[in-house]
Structure 1
Amino acid sequence: MTLLVVDRLNKRYGGVSAAKEVSFTVAAGEMVAVIGPNGAGKSTTFGMVGGQVKPDSGMVTLDGEAITGLPSRAIWRKGVGRTFQIAQTFVTMTVAENVQMALVSHRGRTRHLFADATRLYRDEALALLDGVGMRADADRPVSELAYGDVKRVELAVALASGPKLLLMDEPTAGMAPKERVGLMRLTARVARERRIGVLFTEHDIDAVFSHADRLLVLVRGEIIAAGTPESVRADPRVKQVYLGEAGARAAERAKRLVEVPA
């Protein structure tokens, strides 16, 4: 089932075209990666889908409903969750409290925040943490966690709103190689089980080619290639303008990595 439809989005900043006729889809349970060199338009595209950037023209539709140009909070309410390049958590709160706060906010109970916040939705928070492998750490302060575990907590926080679509900006940034593999495998499993569409940007070629179902390659605001990891890996233009020889080797290495059982 097609979940997200992005149709001919355009955005200019002065004389620079940051996005030009950008069109793609994301299906429920599918992981789609947006890749490209610095300045390719990835952040602009993400911002237009998530509500941080208003497009000059074009349409964004989520589950059949137009969300083009809506504020980011309104888009979040309609089912678009997000994680960030630098994990956004409350480090002085416990792991469980972070997820509980997300549940409190989504349910519109912020007026009860200081009265009984530590008791609100604890069972639901624990269930979400169980799904990302962090239930055993529920009562630990986030400040005590390794960064890879903080990223897992952030994923649980994003899932607290019950999103249809999850936007992930550089999800493996700052993580060790083993942590990267673990987080991306977890995300892929959650996406399949919950039928959540995932749109993510990532500079780590191994992570992209190992875990994305489809890839979009942006260069100077335009999509120059789109398709499966295999078809994008073989595209001569992608090799020339983005992957290069080293990137092509990394993509081939990722192909072997994804064939190894989790």
Structure 2
Amino acid sequence: MSLLQVTGLNKAFGGVKAVDGVDFTLGKGELLALIGPNGAGKSTTFNLVGGQLAPDSGSVRLAGQEIAGLSPRAIWRRDVGRTFQIAATFASLSVVENVQMALLSADRKVFAFWRRAAGHRRGDALALLERVGMGNQADRPCSALAYGDVKRVELAMALAHGPQLLLMDEPTAGMAPAERLALMALTRALAKERQMGVLFTEHSMDVVFGQADRVLVLVRGRLLAEGTPEAIQRDARVQQAYLGNGQILGRRRQ
């Protein structure tokens, strides 16, 4: 059984169908990229899965359980992690304290936030930071980090409650090419290691075609094509609708 099953998903705004009968699945350990031109409905689809929006109709099932229409927090409690286009960290706290705050939330100790997080599961927080390559910067303030490092901290925070599904909204926005490829290669390794499904939206085609296992292409709210990166790159419909110039850039990982 697939980890995530989306069936007949529909959402309209003022009579305009932003998402029109979208179906897809996502397996454990798989990276699935959701792409399309501006206005294609990818952000709406992404937010329907994450709970920021409720669908007009359709089903979103996670490990066999219906989650469509649940709040983002209720979905998070079902072991779904999320990162954002603009990294969501506490700039005034140290790197390790940011992860400790995420662990406090995972342990349902949200009302302990008024205390310093420094004493809470520091060893577990350090282990997460080591895994994302930030262990040597654990005690630095987040405000002093380069942006690419902030994104790694955010990833560690998203992993704090051991999600079975990770949603990544434009994860490499604002990053240099080498940084974004490194971040998504790390995400790919974590997905395989933890058997965690990853659904991500992305504008950088080098990231999409270099790291995704499969790609979904939306146009005007409908699923135009889905398949391996190689198949999507060769698809004439995608080339015409997505780029309009007969070519999709991007290089597959070796």
TM-score range, shorter chain: over 0.9
Tell me, which stretches of 5 or more residues in structure 1 are unaligned?
none
SS in 1 for 2:245: helix
Distance 2:94 2:161 in 1: 19
Q: How big is each residue's C-alpha offset from its partner over 1:113-145, in whole Å with a ceiling of 9 and x where there is no partner?
A: 334521011111001101101011000001111
The residue type paired with residue 50 of structure 2 is: G
After TM superposition, list the pairs within 5 Å mapping 1:1-262 onto structure 2: 2-115=2-115, 117-245=117-245, 247-248=247-248, 250-251=249-250, 254-255=251-252, 258-259=253-254
SS in 1 for 2:244: helix
SS in 2 for 1:160: coil
The alpha-carbon deviation at position 246 of structure 1 amounts to 7.2
Q: Is the 8 A contact 1:205 1:247 kept in 2?
A: no
Q: How big is each residue's C-alpha offset from its partner over 1:58-93, in whole Å with a ceiling of 9 and x where there is no partner?
A: 000001111110011000000111001110100110
Distance 1:16 1:111 in 2: 42
Distance 1:15 1:166 in 2: 31
Distance 1:23 1:169 in 2: 19
Aligned residue pair count:
254
Distance 1:178 1:128 in 2: 22
Q: How big is each residue's C-alpha offset from its partner over 1:189-241, in whole Å with a ceiling of 9 and x where there is no partner?
A: 01100111000000001110000000000000000000101111111110101
Q: Runs ≥4 in structure 1, deviation > 4 angstroms?
A: none
The residue type paired with residue 89 of structure 1 is: T
Tell me, which stretches of 5 or more residues in structure 2 are unaligned?
none
TM-score (norm 2): 0.97
The alpha-carbon deviation at position 247 of structure 1 amounts to 4.5
Distance 1:15 1:66 in 2: 26
The residue type paired with residue 5 of structure 2 is: V
Q: Percent sequence identity over matched residues? A: 60
